[in-house]
Amino acid sequence: MLRIAAVLALLVCHVALAARAVEGDPARPMPADASTDPRVPLLKHLPAGSKLEDLQPSPIPGLYQFTQGAEISYLTADGKYFIDGSLYDMDSRENLTEVLRARARVAMIDAVPESQMLIFGPKNPLYTITVFTDVDCGYCRKLHSEMAELNRLGVRVRYMFFPRTGPNTESWKKAEVVWCSPDRNDALTRAKAGFPLDMNKTCESTPVAREYALGQSVGVRGTPAILTENGDYISGYMPPRELVQQIKDLQVAKR
């Protein structure tokens, strides 16, 4: 415990010292002149391809927030410490990091036209969810087998492909075959029910690779991965009524 306390004290000290370089105002705009921008020397500590706009002042003086897709982490202004975790407002108990993650997920999902998705929904939906799915995933198949109940409860499901086994695998090929089928929704339903697909069916382009990469950026680690309209992430299968209740609870929490 003493060792942990000492490390925390040292980190607080460094953050306080680094605060002098940032002046502690997370709303303060960054300098227009890159040569005087304090973020420039910090880029060498970050993954290749990182840009200045990926690094912004956080609510804590002397601490920057670093954004990669929906992944948020923190870097002290002197570049000495990198923090991978969530930041909470102790007054409101709000997870400030998760707010940023949700906002990033919404922006990334909204950039995908619905014409690139497979959609199952009632005429007048109450809720819309975006689901990253794998044709061969057992729990993805279970969720899809309950589509009629989900639709009856007012849930509109937008599917995007996320073959967990990655490129050049059977699941990936199945996703492409589903997309290349004349009736994609029927092909997906049949594939998830275990019916064989015509694996020779091809077409010029499919969204599988783009959606797989998007899923990685969003933070998908398993399927089904469910995102609400507000960008909340629900990991894994839930029975329809439980899923609807979870969506409602998340909506209430946002108010």
Residue 2 reports pLDDT greater than 70? no
Q: Tell me how far apart the alpha carbons of residues 194 and 249 are, in angstroms, rounded to a whole number.
A: 34
Taking the CA atoms of residue 198, residue 201, residue 207 and residue 213 in that order, the dihedral angle to the nearest 10 degrees is 60
2-85 CATH, one of 3.40.50, 3.30.70, 3.10.450, 3.10.310? 3.10.450
- Which residue intervals of the chain bear CATH 3.40.30.10? 109-254
The topology under which CATH files domain 109-254 is Glutaredoxin (3.40.30)
pLDDT at site 201: 84
- In three-state secondary structure terms, 46 is coil
Could you count the other beta carbons within 10 Å of the beta carbon of residue 193?
10
Q: What is the mean pLDDT of residues 184-210?
A: 94
Does 63 or 22 have the greater pLDDT score? 63
Q: What is the mean pLDDT of residues 180-194?
A: 96
Does 155 or 38 have the greater pLDDT score? 155
Q: Tell me how far apart the alpha carbons of residues 84 and 71 are, in angstroms, rounded to a whole number.
A: 9
pLDDT at site 31: 54
Residue 216 reports pLDDT greater than 60? yes
Contact in structure between 235 and 222 (CB atoms under 8 Å): yes
Convert the pLDDT of each residue in 94-114 to its tens digit: 999 999 999 999 999 999 999
Nearest CA to 71 out of 107, 98, 93 is that of 98
Catalogue the active-site residues: 134, 137, 140, 164
